[in-house]
Amino acid sequence: MDQVKVIKIKESVFADNDVQADRLRQELKKENTFLLNLMSSPGSGKTTTLLRTVEKLKDRLKIGIMEADIDSAVDAEIMAKKGVKTIQLHTGGMCHLDAGMTEQGLKELETGDLDLAILENVGNLVCPAEFDTGAVKNVMILSVPEGHDKPLKYPLIFQVCDVLLVNKIDVLDYFDFDMAKLKEYAWMRNPELKIFPISARTGEGIEAWTAWLYEAVLEWNRK
Residues that bind its own copies (CB under 8 A): 41-44, 69-72, 74, 93, 95, 122-127, 130, 143, 145-147, 149-150, 152-156, 168, 171, 174-175
Q: Which is nearer to its own copies, 126 or 211 (CB)?
A: 126
Q: Which is nearer to its own copies, 137 or 150 (CB)?
A: 150
The nearest distance, CB 217 to its own copies, in angstroms, is 28
The nearest distance, CB 75 to its own copies, in angstroms, is 8
Q: Which is nearer to its own copies, 42 or 191 (CB)?
A: 42
Dihedral angle sign, alpha carbons of residues 61, 54, 36, 89: negative
Residue 172 near residue 144, CB atoms below 8 Å:
yes
User: DSSP secondary-structure letter at 112?
Assistant: G
The nearest distance, CB 14 to its own copies, in angstroms, is 21
With 0-12 / 13-18 / 19 or more C-beta atoms within 10 angstroms meaning exposed / middle / buried, residue 79 is buried
Q: Which is nearer to its own copies, 67 or 115 (CB)?
A: 67
Q: Which is nearer to its own copies, 83 or 92 (CB)?
A: 92
Nearest alpha carbon to residue 150 among 130, 179, 120, 121:
179
Residue 37 near residue 119, CB atoms below 8 Å:
yes
The nearest distance, CB 161 to its own copies, in angstroms, is 15
Burial 189-210 (b: 16+ CB within 10 A, else e): bbeebbebbbbbeeeebbeebb
The nearest distance, CB 220 to its own copies, in angstroms, is 30
